[in-house]
Chains A and B, each alone.
Chain A
């Protein structure tokens, strides 16, 4: 068949949209299922044929998880399950502090690498390689040391481990944004009388802001949803949301899907809210190398 330009375009567009549609279904279905399940009454959690959207939606899952209103028959849940708010507090505190530390020190290091070559390219790569180590490999020795240092089940312990494991990402990401800022702009500020700190504050930071915000969110998501380290380095006090979530899959209680779904939705919402607030920066920040000069 001899395709003219117009037909070619139609075929291309058709291919594009069908690919995107398939992708959307793959990504979207689990989300739909979680949201749907969070509104299902107990009986429909395991129903067969599956109930896609409940005919009798209920808020009891949310009430139960978040308000602690135990009105269901399943009463033998461990007490630890009654504290999602505490887990939310833990998660928020640990994630915000460790992410802030990571981005702050990452940016300082990245500035040094970008402007003064404090790390060679090989070192930079090694830094990233550190992150290739599966967390399970380091968690056993780490928990040993943590127990002697009294860091097990403490906020500080989790903050430290998150800060250090995400620092390589922070350095790499912020470096690419700092590289974008022409050296001459900084030099112009300096020769006009600005000190180094003044230059960083007035010129470098504002120009790297979108990138820093994008890095912050990226690392915040990583930390917020981290499970393995949190599970093994905490016991009862510093339980984070992902760990809390996992407790709804107990060997004795079976799976409490509806509650778990309600909690999952709760975990996701803060990230979506943050995303909405900073989407202006995200669009610019995640388009590496596209900063307008």
Chain B
């Protein structure tokens, strides 16, 4: 069990700043996900908790004690690496037993613990094999087991699933979730995959350019993004983001670009003006066969089974996408003209700096 705190943490590599003044508290037993694009400083942050990188400035506290000077082995932390990092010359059994041996646990006790943990992550039949003989999913389970045996107060996971295929990733994601529920220890999980972040996290910390862009519960991040970056990063398909400008029409503000013109909902301030980006999630656009504020022609219909995606041509690099529930291929055809409505409370506006208005 561990409570972790960063105080003004900063990490520089020569002239590049990887992490800028990070202040963050991780609660005991929390599942915290650090998410962001590559190079945003999330892995550096994780490696500073582990002790593999020394902060340039700032302090890391664990249960109130500064641990900056502690060696990785003295931090009581477990880490699962992206490359799994199993010892290729040892059997799976020896791999898992390694941490117990280092902690000088007696022989018979070690045997019991290894068996128990192997059972827990379903790798008992693999114990006599070597890492080279395992599939990606199996070796990730072994990596988990190897970390589990030492009963660390905190688990650090560095993109543990990114080398696996989609199906295995989902399966192991559930496994990680189950482990956290069972162990109730602190998990710090780094990923660039927004879906992993959404499904696993108690709290998501979105990082960008070495800074915290936004933090909150998955639902909060999804439905209340504070910036263009966060809005764009979360959701699949991504939020529709349309560039345009604010114009005044009959004393009311409206958003306009070459393709469309929509009223700005009343709850926005009257002070906004100039170039903005309008955002709306694909599932929030309402389609009305007749009427609607915007008229457009369906470019493509993509039935996904549970949902149907409607594509519209847009000036941006990405098409404008609308999700409708159900398999509605009979009602909508490509080339058909439909009306679109943006519900007032679902519309986001971002200024040129990417801040939410």
Contacts and interface: CB of A to CB of B under 8 A. Distances in A.
Nearest to A291: B88
A21 interface: no
Interface size grouping (class) on chain B: 20 to 34
Interface stretch (A37-45, A53-61, A193-201): A193-201
Interface stretch (A126-134, A170-178, A184-192): A184-192
Contact of A182 (B85, B132, B150): B85
Contact of B50 (A191, A194, A203): A191
B268 interface: no
A184 B72 CA distance: 13
Chain B CB within 10 Å, residue with most, of A187, A189, A192, A202: A192
A198 B102 CA distance: 9
A184 B132 CA distance: 16
Nearest to B79: A191
A293 interface: yes
Given A185-B87, A207-B88, A292-B88, A195 B79 contact: no
A166 B146 CA distance: 41
Nearest to B81: A184
B102 A192 contact: yes
Contacts of A193: 73, 99, 102-103, 150
A183 to B, nearest CB: 9
B83 interface: yes
Nearest to A190: B72
Chain B CB within 10 Å, residue with most, of A185, A198, A207, A293: A185
Interface string B88-113: 11000000001100110000000000
A192 B103 CA distance: 8
A250 interface: no
Interface string B300-321: 0000000000000000000000
A187 B146 contact: no
Contacts of B99: 192-193
B287 to A, nearest CB: 49
A179 to B, nearest CB: 15
A192 B146 contact: yes
B218 interface: no
B77 interface: yes
Contacts of A275: none
A154 B77 CA distance: 54
Interface in A103-138: none
A198 B87 CA distance: 14
Contact of B78 (A187, A191, A198, A206): A191
B83 A191 contact: no
Contacts of B86: 185, 188
B96 to A, nearest CB: 10
Chain B CB within 10 Å, residue with most, of A182, A189, A195, A198: A189
A188 B80 CA distance: 8
B209 to A, nearest CB: 25
Interface string A255-293: 000000000000000000000000000000000000011
A191 B72 contact: yes
Given A187-B50, A187-B72, A192-B147, 7 more contacts: A185-B87, A188-B87, A192-B98, A192-B99, A193-B150, A203-B87, A207-B89
8 contacts: A187-B72, A187-B85, A188-B86, A190-B71, A191-B51, A192-B146, A192-B150, A194-B73
Interface of B: 50-52, 71-73, 75, 77-79, 81-83, 85-89, 98-99, 102-103, 132, 146-147, 150
